[in-house]
Structure 1
Amino acid sequence: MAIGVVAGIVLAAILALIGLFKLMWRVAEPNEALVISGSTHRTEGIGEGMGFRIVTGRGTLVVPGVQAVRKLSLDLNETQLNVDCVTHQGIPLRVKGVVIFKIGDDLVSIANAARRFLDQQKMMPERVHIVFAGHLRSIVGGLTVEDMIRDREKLTGQTRAACGTEMEKLGLIVDSLQIHEIEDPTGYIKNLAMPHAAAVQRDARIAQAEANRLATEAEQTAFARMAEATRDSEILQAGYQAERDKAAATARQAGPLSEAAARQEVVVQETRVAELEAHRREQQLQADVRKPADAAAYETRTRAEAERDARISAAQAKAKETELAAAAEATRVTTAATADAAATEARGLAAAKATRATGEAEAAATQAKGLAVAASAKAKGLAEADAIKARAAALAENQEAVVAQQLAENWPAIVEAGAGAFGNVEHMVLLNGAEGMSEMFAKALTMGGTGLGLARQLLASMSQPAAPGSAADTTPVNGKTASASHQIPIADA
């Protein structure tokens, strides 16, 4: 009894150990990696303190409740590329392809991928598409359409090289990158291939025409030979038939006509000879004249047909070339005319604006100048009127003071007029020196009331308006009033 209990306990313990072992033991499949977190681990090639452990291709013990185990798939993934790009020539293209990638097998790549995609493995194709689309647009922007068509491997290699660093940071490696198709919505690639396709089509048509010519020539030769054989056969058959008929007639007329037959044998033989001779001559004419003539005629006709076909092909090609050149020239002339019209319109608008601005500025300047001249003339007239009014008032109040002031202002003219009295004196003797000269000059000024008359004339010229054309007439010149010189008679000494 005790032994059975002990055996049951031992068996239960063994089963519990087995169950606990199965619960703690985790095995990584060949296409997955186990990421175990929950304690600090040291992983070879990564360093210490990573915070999680990576297990691939083997089993490991996991403490339930302390450590967490999650799986990271190492299967292949793919993402379809459908990227709109613009080439170096400014031509829009759509590049289609496929990228096949996976998480790297080394621990560094698995660790990088685990940090980024452990809970978002379904987002990996989208992220990879974003990376490749950006680099693909950048690379296509530096290439031409011709480069992409002739060297597609170059585009693929540059794209893989550009994305390699970023994919390595994500823990991913690219197994394959294929560019399936380059779509051209503008038709540039089709237009690029049209000259080559036209040249191939032209060569094909020429080759077909040459083959048709050779076939027709061979057929005609065969037909001629068939006709010749038929003719020879009919001639031979006719000769054989004549011989058979002759034999039959001879047999029928063997009795009563034997003698006539004998006589006619010579004629028959002669006729036979003549027929044979005619047949020989006919054969000779066929061989010497008709056959060479037929061959020459056939050769001439065939050459004429070939030259006609060649001229037609050349004329069609020339017409197509002329049509394309005319279309290109028309496009160029239209573009140039449009550009010249736009430039002429812009220049006309600029000239009109400049002319308008110049006219407005000149009009403003002329208006300002006229206003200034008018204001100046008005101010000068007012000033002269005020001056005349002031002189009139001064003469009314103190005539002697005004006369004295005017005499003082005009004294040089008075002295000059008095000195004119000595203009006709050739010799003068002064007995008392300077005093005699002063007395002589005073007498000259006062002789016959000359000085007093001059003073009165000056006073009259200031107090009364001068008549036009008189000696005291004042005329404004350049804004100033000039007095006419007075002639003062002085008696000769």
Structure 2
Amino acid sequence: MFDSAMIPVLAGIAAILVFATLAFFASRYKRCPSDRILVVYGKVGGNKSARCVHGGASFVWPVIQDYAYLSLTPMPIDIQLRGALSQQNIRVNTPSTFTVGISTEPGVMENAAERLLGQTQPQIQELAKDIIFGQMRVVIATMPIEEINADRDKLIANISNGVEVELKKVGLRLINVNVQDITDESGYIEALGKEAAARAINDAKIKVSQQERDGDIGAALADKEKRISVAQAQAEAVTGENLSAVEIANSIASRREKEAEAERLGTAAEKVASAKALQESYLAEESAERQRAKREEAAMMATIIVQADIEKRKIEVLAEAEKNRVRISAEAQKQRIELEAEAEKRRIELVAQAEAERIRIIKEGEAAGLKTYMEAEAAGTLAQLEARAKGFQSIVTAAGGADKAAQLMVTEQLPGLVAEQVKAISGIKIDKLTVWDSGRTGEDGKTRTADFVSGLVGAIPPLHDIARNAGIELPGYLGKPASSSGGKKPAPPSDTQAI
């Protein structure tokens, strides 16, 4: 039975387990301070390598996840950039101070988690320093040196825009840029300062001359108006007095004549002084214009030289690119020709192999056919020989012996031999035969003409001689040979015969 005393123990164990579970989950719940970024990595889901939290908290699952922090403390970086080429290929020194930090922008924080997690602050500063160096050189190369020196705000804005884009790729952001000073190795910026100072001094001198000229002109005009006003008042007074006395009029006329002469002289003196002032002012303006023309000419020459240098460099780069393109094209053409030659060689080899295989198959077929033909011909010849052998054996048996069978076979061939002998003289064509015969007869009572004809017939071998040459003796009923009959062989004719 269940003991009631165990209830408090079980309740205590349950409480301890609940407390331990709460403590474990509380220890895995991580809060992110405002000056840091909480990076949870491991199996975070969503095909992401890490999850970044700023200004909040996140639960970190045990075993499958872990966490780390990225500091948001700003990092100052001193950039002592020297010898950077401007747009005119003039080397510029721009020592600056940049302040960067890890960005809290969504998307950029993940870049920082992927590329900066686990690195120390000096390592991050060195990475940012390399990026800033490269981007500053790129920005300075796109600006003329006059704009770099005169418009600091534009320079800083261009540097900030270029550097900010590259820093975001590694999870950083640009906080501040401070360009300390701008100098160049050739002294061009110092010359620009001296030119500006000289131009300001010349402008000031021109303004002083213009003010003095305006003052003299104003004084002369005021004196002229004064004299005109006085003369007009006096003329009006004298006009009334002239009505009463001619003498006064003559006196006034004489006085006015003298006053007019004096006024003319005074006006001429004033105009001469004014002309001198204008001449000096014009000389000062001419000098200033000459200085300005010289400065503009120098600037134009510098621009032309720089543009020519840039164009030369552009042509050289294009020529080098064209050279590389031609070389690469030649190499590709060579490689293509080699591949085509190799393919053609391989094709020829395959064709030769196929032709050799075809010839071999044809020869094998011909040899097999010839073998079959020869075997058939040999079988036919063998059959003929076997048949003849059987025939000969029957002839020998019927003749009563091999010798008699041979004589019988030769005797069968004698008509053919005689026919061939007859053909030997039957084919002789005698167009004309002339015989001179003295009418004398021989011992046998025959004339020479008869001897000639019998000699011609005697040129045919006798039948017994032919049989004897064949190795057989003819039977007696076929006659006796000429040598055994005791007759003499007729002598050839001695008289001259012509055929």
TM range, normalised to the smaller chain? 0.3 to 0.5
Bigger Cα Rg: 2
TM-score (norm. length: structure 2)? 0.41
